[in-house]
């Protein structure tokens, strides 16, 4: 609705038209101020102020004072274009939260995650949501203490993008907290990599109570004993344990093999997914190092929060190896 005067034209929205109609009825004596305040859900004092301003200024008193004013906290167009250019260029592939962190740390642009989302949405830089077929999955309760169960597996991925070869990240993820307790890069998923992983884990924290892994031949013998095997294996009906299985026996670590073919890939990959994006982005500013040397990022790559945590963590269950504690 437009109200014209000699100086300007004022456009009223639906709410303002309703308020003007009620004010006109008050001036015509059809409503009292108390009844009008109840209809407009205002206090009596606020109703009196609006009525006094309406008598003095007319229709202009009905319009909100902040209309057509630019908010002080509005993000400038120059900053918006800078964020869009960075999201398309060096920070391409980062999710919204990680992009927000990079902008604050490296560019000095402090924005909220919601603001970053609005800027990317306006520039049509948000990826299309992946809506696959829903899969029925019953999630088990996590273990209540850190060190009770550690999931180990390998993830072959293009960790260095086009800057280097494909690598396999062999990692150990604690079941209670979801954090990566130990990790190592290898050219392939091999037994030596798992030995180095266990050594790193034991030196840093201690021995967990159990390992959860898939049915790879590194952990389990793939077949029963046959005539080609030794007499002891034939009598036992199974082959001797693998070298890695013997290591777990020496360290008194329980070995739990997954029943499914994929093993711990589901939950393990979910916990590792935030680190993939973080590793890509942080490697973009570093020269590739030899595989024998440890790879370090410019800052710790950790998700802000871990889902499905237990209500409380009672304590830790890591066991210190006597030979390492001396």
How much is the pLDDT for 306? 42
pLDDT > 70 fraction of the chain, expressed in percent and rounded: 71
Q: Where are the domains of the chain?
A: 2-61, 77-122, 150-325
Average pLDDT across the chain, whole number:
77
Asked if the domains at 2-61 and 150-325 fall in one CATH topology, the answer is no
- Residue 21 φ/ψ, nearest 5 degrees: -65, -40
How much is the pLDDT for 60? 79
Q: What is the CATH number of domain 150-325?
A: 3.30.420.10
Task: Say which residue the tokens 């070869």 belong to.
Answer: 165
The architecture CATH gives domain 2-61: Orthogonal Bundle (1.10)
What element of type H or E holds 46?
A: helix 44-57
146-200 pLDDT per residue, tens: 889 999 999 888 888 778 889 999 999 998 888 889 999 999 999 999 999 999 9
How much is the pLDDT for 271? 59
The two tokens of residue 98 are 């990680």
Which of residues 6 and 7 earns the better pLDDT score?
7
How much is the pLDDT for 274? 56
DSSP state of 105: I
What is the mean predicted confidence (pLDDT) over 28-41? 85
How much is the pLDDT for 153? 92
How much is the pLDDT for 41? 84
Which of residues 261 and 121 earns the better pLDDT score?
121
Rounded to whole angstroms, the Cα distance separating 84 from 288 reads 28
Rounded to whole angstroms, the Cα distance separating 185 from 202 reads 18
What is the mean predicted confidence (pLDDT) over 38-51? 87
196-228 pLDDT per residue, tens: 999 999 999 999 999 998 888 888 776 554 555
Residue 214: which of 269, 184, 172, 256 has the closest Cα?
Answer: 256
How much is the pLDDT for 315? 62
Rounded to whole angstroms, the Cα distance separating 19 from 50 reads 10
Q: Is 94 left (phi over 0), alpha (psi -120 to 50) or beta?
A: beta
What is the mean predicted confidence (pLDDT) over 50-67? 80
E-assigned strand segments in the chain: 2-4, 9-11, 150-157, 167-174, 180-186, 210-213, 254-257
**What CA–CA distances, in Å, run from 80 to 112, 121, 126, 237?**
13, 12, 15, 69
How much is the pLDDT for 72? 72
How much is the pLDDT for 273? 59
Give SS3 for 145.
coil
**What CA–CA distances, in Å, run from 22 to 30, 34, 39?**
9, 12, 8
- Residue 316 φ/ψ, nearest 5 degrees: -110, 150
259-306 pLDDT per residue, tens: 765 556 555 555 565 555 555 555 554 555 555 444 443 333 443 334
In this structure, the number of other CB atoms found within 10 A of the CB of residue 180 comes to 16
């Amino acid at each position: 609705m437009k109200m014209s005067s000699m100086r300007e034209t004022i456009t009223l929205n639906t709410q303002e038209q309703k308020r003007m109609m009620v004010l006109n009825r008050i001036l015509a004596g059809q409503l009292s101020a108390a009844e009008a305040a109840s209809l407009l859900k205002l206090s009596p004092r606020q109703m009196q102020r609006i009525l006094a301003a309406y008598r003095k200024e007319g229709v202009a008193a009905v319009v909100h004072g902040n209309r057509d004013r630019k908010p002080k906290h509005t993000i400038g167009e120059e900053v918006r274009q800078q964020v869009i250019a960075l999201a398309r260029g060096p920070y391409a592939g980062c999710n919204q939260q990680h992009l927000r962190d990079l902008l604050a740390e490296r560019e000095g642009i402090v924005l909220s995650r919601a603001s970053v989302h609005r800027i990317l949405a306006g520039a049509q830089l948000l990826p299309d949501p992946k809506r696959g077929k829903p899969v029925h999955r019953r999630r088990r309760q996590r273990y209540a203490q850190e060190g009770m169960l550690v999931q180990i597996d390998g993830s072959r991925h293009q960790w260095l993008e086009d800057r280097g070869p494909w690598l396999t990240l062999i990692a150990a993820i604690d079941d209670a907290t979801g954090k990566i307790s130990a990790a190592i890069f290898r050219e392939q998923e091999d037994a030596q990599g798992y030995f180095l992983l266990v050594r790193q884990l034991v030196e840093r924290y201690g021995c967990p109570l159990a390992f959860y892994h898939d049915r790879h031949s590194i952990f389990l013998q793939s077949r029963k004993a046959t005539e080609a095997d030794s007499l002891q294996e034939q009598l036992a009906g199974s082959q001797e344990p693998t070298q890695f299985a013997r290591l777990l026996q020496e360290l008194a670590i329980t070995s739990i093999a997954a029943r499914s073919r994929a093993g711990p890939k589901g939950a393990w990959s979910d916990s590792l997914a935030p680190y993939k994006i973080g590793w890509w982005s942080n490697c973009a500013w570093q020269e590739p190092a030899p595989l024998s040397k440890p790879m370090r990022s410019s800052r710790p790559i950790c998700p802000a929060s871990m889902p499905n945590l237990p209500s409380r963590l009672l304590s830790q269950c890591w066991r210190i190896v006597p030979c390492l504690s001396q």
